Copies of this chain bind each other. A is one copy, B any other.
Amino acid sequence: MTGVRRYFEDFHVGESFTTPEIEVTTDEIVDFATRFDPQFFHTDPESAHASVFGEHVASGWHTAALTMRLWHDHGPPVQGGLIGLGVEDLRWGPLRGGDRIHVVGEVIETRPSSSGAPRGVVRLRLRTLSHRDVEVQHMVAAILVPARGH
């Protein structure tokens, strides 16, 4: 599910893609959390063991940002770019420093514009999985995709 930039007509329910893996480091987890989500279970690998997680874990928003990067780099290129309309059912599992993660995406719906405009909505389920076989993120994302010839 890669190659030339796709139009709405080029997406089909059931298609899927799998990205390569990237490794996530403890330093990256601490850096992101320090900037955006400075809770001790994200910023302090030592004291995190006393948290409800029992270990040092990434902010879910960091996992989301890393997922976006993998999707951008390795998902199907879309004409005009990945224009996100919204996300449903975003959930997280524990992402640790040293984990290697990849994303598995699947097209679950294609819906032409109800107004008849030359575009449509593509809904994808994106699962982010670690090498420990933990689902560190699940979401359903809707993107706006132009129709061919527009």
Which residue numbers of A lie inside 8 Å of B, CB to CB?
Answer: 32, 35-41, 51-52, 59-61, 64-66, 68-69, 72, 80-92, 144
Contact = CB atoms under 8 A, between A and B. Distances in A.
B88 A51 contact: no
B61 A64 contact: yes
Contact of A68 (B61, B69, B83, B144): B61
B91 A90 contact: no
Nearest to A64: B61
A144 to B, nearest CB: 8
Nearest to A65: B36
Contacts of A86: 89-92
Contacts of A90: 86-88, 90
A36 B58 CA distance: 15
Nearest to A85: B91
12 contacts: A32-B65, A35-B65, A36-B69, A37-B65, A37-B69, A39-B81, A39-B82, A40-B81, A41-B81, A51-B80, A52-B81, A86-B91
